[in-house]
Each structure stands twice: as structure tokens, then as C-alpha cells.
Amino acid sequence: MTDNENNQQANTTSTRRAFLKNSGITFGGIVIGGTIGGLLGNVKEEPTEQPAPAPVAEVANPNVALMFFTPDEYQTTNAAVERIFPEDENGPGAMELNAAIYIDHQLASQWGVNAKDYRLGPFYKPEPTQGEQIKLLRQDLFRLGLKRLDNYSSENYEKQFLDLEAEEQDGVLAAFEEGKAGSISGVSTTEFFKLLRQLTLEGVYADPMYGGNKEMLGWEMRKYPGTRMGYINEIQKKDFVELEPNSLQSHMGHS
């Protein structure tokens, strides 16, 4: 069972990689994920040989576009979030759920520049009980972290992160988690990993208006109804009551 799943995973990954290369626009010899790059999550099941038909619903969603990442950064993020929260028999992984789009939008926001954080100095190295004391803004930490992912992958596998096998990517992420992958402008790779993990879960489970949790499939997987005005009936039931998910949009127009 486990082996079988691993194989499936490996297949999807290589299909995705192949598609990436095929679909990239060549520009002065450099392959760019370009216009179609933003749709990657949804076309991974297409056979590589054929050009992917335009997935109409996606094109119609103006939210699926980049405000912060370069297309390359977006692709690396896509690969990383999928390892944190992979596709399995429960349902789609973070890539298909647009977690990387979510992350892009968050990093472009006020939160990405730590607008509500205490930013005055001096900055000292904290004791483990004192919380983060990081001078880098979140968006810079993330961007430099992605670069470190590639550099670390090159140092150890002579490939970019995106081109590694799934198990190798897991190995790289584990090294980041343990803080054993060098440093990011003086910050431990653990901090980048924590940010990546947190953002991935948010991208999978936050309200779809933020760009992730595509079509509320993240919620559906765990039978979470999203948002309703109340559950006074359901809460008294002995048996589980499964409800269709609703997003916050359903509250618009109430007054």
C-alpha cells in the first residue's frame, strides 16, 4: 500500500516537472514558467505529450496571478508546499489547492512586511524561550529561503530544488527544519521552515478569498463546513452531520 502510494507520488512529480519544462517559454535560452506556470497545479494529470487545454475555470479566476513572487520563485514554492501537504487518497495537495498563490498574496500584504510587529531595535539573539528576534521582513526571509533551498539542493544533489525527486525534496526540507542547512543571512533555516509550514497550512485551510483552499477542497477533505451563521441544531446531534462548505462570501449582503 505504502509503496504503491509512493510510486504514484513519484509519477505525478515527474509528470509535473516534465510539463514545467515543456510549457516554459524560452527566452534567451532561459526557460521561464511564464504565463501557464500559474496553472501548474491543475494540469499535472495531463499527459505530457499533449499541450494542456486551457482550464477555463482557472483562467476565469483573477485571483490566480502573482503579486510578489517571480515565476521561478512561485514554482519552487509550489514544489515545497506540496511536500508539506502532499496529494493523497484524502484529496488534493497544497499545490493543487493554490497554497503558493495564497503565500504570494500574503507576502505581498502588510503582514509580509511585518506591519503589526514590534520592529524597534536593538535585535539580540534570543534564548529559546524568548520568541523570534528576526530583523528580516517575512517577505525577504521567504525569498532568501527559497534561494537557500536551491543552493542547498545544488550543494548536495547538483540540482535545483524543483528538479529533485520527492524523497530528496523531503530530505532537504527536513534539513531545513532541523536548522542544518546553513543560514539565511544569519537566520536559521528552521525559521524559514516554520514560515513555510505555517503558510502552507493557512493556504490549504484559510477562506478561499485569500487565494488558497481552492474551491474549498481543503475544507471538504476534513468535512469542515467553513462558515455558517450558527450550528445550534447540529451541535445537539449524536451523529456526525456533514455539511457542504460555505465561504465568507455567503455572509455578504447580510445586514
Partner 1 sequence: MATKLPKEPVVVIGMGWAGGIIASELTKAGIKVVGLERGKERKMSDYLMVHDELRFQHREELMQDLSKETVTHRNNSKMRALPMRQYGTFIVGDGLGGAGSHWNGQTYRFLPYDFEIKTMTEERYGKNKIKADYPLQNWGITYDELEPYYDTFEKMSGISGETVELYGRRSNPYPTKPMLKTPVLEEFEKAAKKLGYKPYMMPSANLSENYENPDGIARAACQYCAYCENFGCEYGAKADPVVTVLPVAQETGNLDLRTHANVTQILNDGTKATGVIYVDTLTGEEFEQPAEVVVVASYVFNNARLLLNSGLGKPYNPADGTGVIGKNYCYQVSSGYSTLFYNDREFNLYAGAGALGIEIPEFTGDNFDHTNENFIHGAGIRSTQYGNRPIANNNVPIGTPSWGKEFKEQSIKYTNSILQVKSQGASMPHRQNYIDLDPAYKDAYGMPLLRITYDYTEQDKELVKYMAKVTKSIAEEMGPDHIDTVGEQAPFNVNVDTNTHNTGGVIMGAEPETSAINSYQQMWDAENVFVVGASAFPHNSCFNPTGTLGALSYRAAEGIETYLKQGGSLV
Residue ranges binding partner 1 (CB under 8 A): 5, 83-86, 88, 90, 111, 114-120, 122, 124, 126-134, 170, 173, 177, 197, 200-202, 205-207, 210, 218-219, 221-225, 227-232, 234-241, 248, 251, 254-255
Smallest distance, partner 1 to C-beta of residue 162, A: 18
Q: Identify which of 246, 182, 240 has the alpha carbon closest to the alpha carbon of residue 219.
A: 246
Which is closer to partner 1, CB of 33 or CB of 112? 112
Which is closer to partner 1, CB of 117 or CB of 155? 117
Smallest distance, partner 1 to C-beta of residue 168, A: 13
Which is closer to partner 1, CB of 33 or CB of 92? 92
Name the burial class of residue 26, with classes exposed (0-12), middle (13-18) and buried (19+) by CB atoms within 10 angstroms of its CB.
Answer: exposed
> CA of 205: how far to CAs of 69, 93, 200, 225, 244, in Å?
21, 12, 9, 11, 15
What phi, psi does 52 have (nearest 5°)? -70, 130
Give the 3-state secondary structure of residue 235.
helix
Smallest distance, partner 1 to C-beta of residue 127, A: 6
Which is closer to partner 1, CB of 23 or CB of 220? 220
Which is closer to partner 1, CB of 26 or CB of 129? 129
Rounded to 5°, the CA angle 166-68-246 comes to 75
Smallest distance, partner 1 to C-beta of residue 36, A: 27
In sequence order, what are the residues at sequence separation of 6 or more whose Cβ sits closer than 8 angstroms to the Cβ of residue 37? 20, 23, 24, 71, 74, 75
H-run or E-run covering 25 = strand 25-27
Smallest distance, partner 1 to C-beta of residue 185, A: 17
Which is closer to partner 1, CB of 21 or CB of 223? 223
* 207 residue type, one letter: D
Smallest distance, partner 1 to C-beta of residue 119, A: 6
Cell of 233: 441544531
DSSP secondary-structure letter at 97?
A: T
Smallest distance, partner 1 to C-beta of residue 15, A: 18
Which is closer to partner 1, CB of 114 or CB of 160? 114
Calpha distance 1→4 (Å, rounded): 5
